[in-house]
Amino acid sequence: MIIGGLHKSSLIDYPGKISCVIFLSGCNFDCPYCHNPELAKGRSHGPAFLSEDLIYDFLENRKGFLDGVVISGGEPTLQKGLISFCEKIRLIGYPVKLDTNGSRPEVIKRLIKEGLINYIAMDIKTTILNYFSLIKDDCSPDNILSSIRIIMESEIDYEFRTTCIKSLVDEKTVESISQLINGSKLYALQQFSKTDVLHPELFKDNFNIYQDDELMQLKSVASRWVNKCIVR
């Protein structure tokens, strides 16, 4: 496990819970707006990576103060030790939320099947065919589609989410994604902020940024297809 950071307490990362957030390092995507550029490049937030034992000790000590654990990244499903890491956290007694880009459906399937995660948030970056040029050249559309299907067929809580920048996401994109996740429990359209991103050269001016009223228009498009759409 390559643990690049730990956020000790959060009220916003695990719906309805006070959670910590564990950031795993390394990613197979190259999202221009990524807010964790150090992790995406395989580095750590601080001067050194954190050990698993440090995380387990922290979680033991925070029993009664934290309600849940978020495993985020980077892309957590790339890590070979993720299954046993989740097992250990569940044994300590915490529900687990996983943040993922959906590129490793077989890992998601196993985590759900074995009851190792309680909530999953999957990013859908853009329309399936646009992943090739905009996010990663060797991204498999089949993997993204499989992850969506596995999550929607599961019985755990979930959300899909899309970060909205104009060069990746327009009304047609949102409609296409919403049709793909037709009937899903929750779809979050996320406002982009240009501080500390992976490719700042693409955001020198504000042409990529949606205004609030434009995001509400995207929400109205998505709301025709999903059970609940929010803007955050």
Binding-site ranges for ligand SF4 (CB under 6 A): 27, 29-31, 34, 36, 40, 73-75, 101, 198
Task: CB nearer to ligand SF4: give 10 or 223.
Answer: 10
Strand partners, 161: 123, 188
Task: CB nearer to ligand SF4: give 25 or 178.
Answer: 25
77 Cβ contact list (under 8 Å, min separation 6): 98, 100, 103, 104, 107, 108
User: Minimum distance between the CB of residue 63 and ligand SF4, rounded to whole angstroms?
Assistant: 29
User: Minimum distance between the CB of residue 211 and ligand SF4, rounded to whole angstroms?
Assistant: 22
Amino acid identity of residue 161, one-letter, is R
Task: CB nearer to ligand SF4: give 20 or 139.
Answer: 139
Task: CB nearer to ligand SF4: give 27 or 151.
Answer: 27
3-state secondary structure at position 157 = strand
d(CA 215, CA 49): 37
User: Minimum distance between the CB of residue 32 and ligand SF4, rounded to whole angstroms?
Assistant: 9
User: Minimum distance between the CB of residue 208 and ligand SF4, rounded to whole angstroms?
Assistant: 15
Residue 215, both tokens: 């995001």
User: Minimum distance between the CB of residue 33 and ligand SF4, rounded to whole angstroms?
Assistant: 7
Task: CB nearer to ligand SF4: give 27 or 50.
Answer: 27
Strands laid side by side in the 68-72 sheet: 3-10, 19-24, 68-72, 96-100, 119-123, 157-164, 187-191, 229-231
Residue 84, both tokens: 């046993």
DSSP-derived secondary structure for 68-81? EEEEESS-GGG-TT
